[in-house]
Amino acid sequence: MANNRGDPDRFARESFTFRRMRSWQIWSLLIVIALLVIGLLFWA
């Protein structure tokens, strides 16, 4: 844990990866919702 405090570069890289993963999750959620809406339209 003490090493993390003296390594800002690693912290920035980890936060950047977290942000990218979050954005990817949001996109996947949008795709799933779109597929559900299309399925409902076909069934209606």
pLDDT at 17: 64
pLDDT at 18: 63
Query: Does pTM top 0.75 for this prediction?
Result: no
Locus of tokens 């980890």: 14
Mean pLDDT by 10 residues, the chain (44 residues): 59 65 85 97 89
Alpha carbon distance 41, 29 (integer Å): 19
pLDDT at 10: 64
For residue 4, give the H/E element and its range.
helix 2-5
